[in-house]
Structure 1
């Protein structure tokens, strides 16, 4: 049996080094993933001549430390995830993340004869983790910026997050703001109703909405409108609940005064105008949030899906086109035959959000007549007015073309092996 041929064809990224850390052998899989040749690396020092990492000095290189530890202890040592980028034949640099183990091979006297490194490319997993962390950071940024009190819970209704405005308004530490401590912030006369309504929403998996009084840090209660909606996966399973509480105390007082005192109509008209200006100011704050958000946002108005708000990241997909005021069909004719107008129509008519991941879409980005393939993960969320009527659609998207292309390339490499 040809053991060398057997070794080189092992479908793992394995390299064998001598006690002096010189490369003795490597599998074909290792050569392929590192884009090296056997002739170029065999006989050379593992990290001084071949895989020199500019991010570390030789002594501080975590790979060397792991090799040294395996050598000294004569036991397998596992290397935590590290980043080591690889140059490609065309001169580019590919970002790569790796995990590795170093296994000592002992002779009959118990001395280390060789060290075997088994390397795993975990780039896709690490990029996915980083992307998830970035998405979480964006959510927290938005939640901490908007003027409402924001809360999230898990699928069972247990609180998982309160934005900073809860502490700023109530004076209660976020660690204490749980369902068990609602009595600290909700008016006693509203507490049982809140609990009953929330229990019903959880059981029936439906949106929760009610007006309630929340105590501020000075001990005064103000009226808030709370809306809590379930976030579901594509199978309809609830992943989490997201709730917002908007201060409606002034508006509520205005309505009560308007009903009770007809003689004050003229004065109340001015107050209503002030309330409107305040609401408009908050709307503009939310508008600025959407426009400045580090993701792709736009709002579509009416059954024709006319662009109403378009942030810079959405506009960057079509730098040479005017979007605002035009319908999607007018501004982006290439998406009609791809079925996106039908999806928007369905969301607008049924009032059900649409979530899609890594969807391919052909776009004429530079308005040159040439279609190019992009991949987007997006949500079409219906927008309702106070009468629960659909007025438009909020579009949130992230371009994931690079991630999809990288995964496809890695899959192609795996098939080639």
Structure 2
């Protein structure tokens, strides 16, 4: 028995459990050595049940009386209460005991244990305060806030959900939360939720919630698992946010995009039809319109040559004007055809020797160069990936303009240079900053123009000089700009009146 008692005593000390034995009639108390320490008393002090009751927190006395009365009926003595130690500190104790009776069913003795549960109670209080703050915060926001256990069973919703659905907590507990989910969304909702519970991954889902007025609204739900120190999921905390306005905006945007797409398709069809009509016009221009002009020129020339003596000077002047106008009309038609072909040409890029193209263009102007004693300084251009026909047309128009718009009694001097620069090194923004740009510079010493017109000169039919001074249709530079745009490039012009003009062209090497 001594050995058994020693084992019990050691076990009680290790578990920090106080044992006690109370004689009900005499209130004499027998206890283990660690009881005084539990109550903050001196180890040598003799302690009675009266001493214990004196240290019970006054508000908890009814708890002990109720527990004693219940023990008389059930022989189980059990309660939790606060005690006041001599230093006025508060501690919590937990008492478990059993009541023993004599033959006449009178209580004679109680045996039990006492444990200090202050730390546990403090943790519970902190947890309760934290949970109370959480619920208070959750109930103050419009979002739905909800929690579940580790198995995915939802066990809490904030007040916002009850206000929205018009349901009570009892109704939700009895009939489940799925009753407020749209029937078409329920199966996918369950599958997504169970997948998150199984894998531990965050839950993300968009579904419709039934409002108290019978209307459904779209919500985006998001739940995150809460884990312990070992990474084991303890619970899930989720929110559901109203996204109905976003859905409405998205639907409206999709509708607008669809309408815009249909509108663009309709306009594209119109453009195709217009392109067909333009091609027909180009055919007519290249054949049917030019034929009458050729006849006008022919008959005007024949009338002039028929009998010069029988034609008055005035009539001869009229015939010269007719022939001049016909030639100008023919040039205009040809330039318009060139511009049209520049828009619709097959855009095939070929790696080409640009020096050969430039030399061929200069040869085309050999007569005019000789006539005006012009000097063409052609610096090496190298190779470039271009549309050869269009690049030739570009050089032809720019060199032709430089020779045409020369100053009286001043031989034209045209310089053609090129360099290659990385797009982001240029002093203006380009579409392909990471690409190498072929930079072509053509300058002359001609009549020039006011710099304020440097943008207008690229428009169709824009002329800065009178027809009597310089012949032309006003389409040449418009063709040049269109060719540059076809090459995804940029063209810039700079000039001063009477000091020549400079054209800079930047073509990306795509």
Query: TM-score, length-normalised on structure 1?
Result: 0.49
Higher strand content, 1 or 2: 1
- Structure with larger RCO (C-alpha < 8 A, sep 6+): 1
Greater Cα radius of gyration, structure 1 or 2: 2
